[in-house]
Amino acid sequence: MPAIEKELQSRFENDQQKAMLNVMFTANWFKSQQAELFRPVGISLQQYNILRILRGAKGKMSMQRVKERMIDRAPNATRLTDKLIAKGLVERERCEDDRRVVYVRISDKGLLLLKEMDRKIKQAQVQMFHRMSDDDARELNRILDACRG
C-alpha cells in the first residue's frame, strides 16, 4: 500500500492530522479486506463480530450485552442478529422473568461456520501484517491505546 499522501492525494496540516486520517483510512482498508472474506458465506463484518461474541460467551447472552461488546456498536444489532437467526447461525430465547429481555446463543451451525472462517481469517491476518514485526505490533498497540486515553 502506498504512503497515505499518495493514496489520498493530499497534504496534511500536521503529523497528528496525518496520523488520525491514516488510522481511519487504514481501518477502512482492513474492513474491506475482511468483508471480502465474509461475502462468500453471506455475512457481514458486524454479523461475524456478533458470532464471535456469542462463541466466547459459551452459552446464552442478553442482546444488550452483545451490543455492549461489539467493536462497531451498530444501532441495528438486533436486525443483524435476526438475519443470523434466519440463517440458523444464532438461536433466540425470551427471558421468562422479563419478556423485554432477549437472550441469544450461537447455534452448532454458527460454531461450524466460525471454525471454517478461523483458518481463512488467520491467513488474511498473516498477509495483512507480514511487513510488521511483533515489536512493531506492540508499539502500534501502545500508541493506539494512548490515543484512546
Total domains in the chain come to 1
Q: Is 27 part of a structural domain of the chain?
A: yes
Asked whether residue 19 is assigned to any structural domain, the reply reads yes
Residue 7 lies in a domain: no
pLDDT, tens only, 65-114: 999 999 887 788 899 999 999 999 999 998 788 878 889 999 999 999 99
For the chain, counts of helices (H) and of strands (E): 7, 3
Domain of 79, CATH number, reads: 1.10.10.10
**Lookup: cell for 45:** 463484518
pLDDT in tens, 17-57: 889 888 998 999 899 999 999 999 999 999 999 999 999 99
Residue 4 lies in a domain: no
Q: What is the pTM of this model?
A: 0.84
The whole domain housing 71 covers 12-148
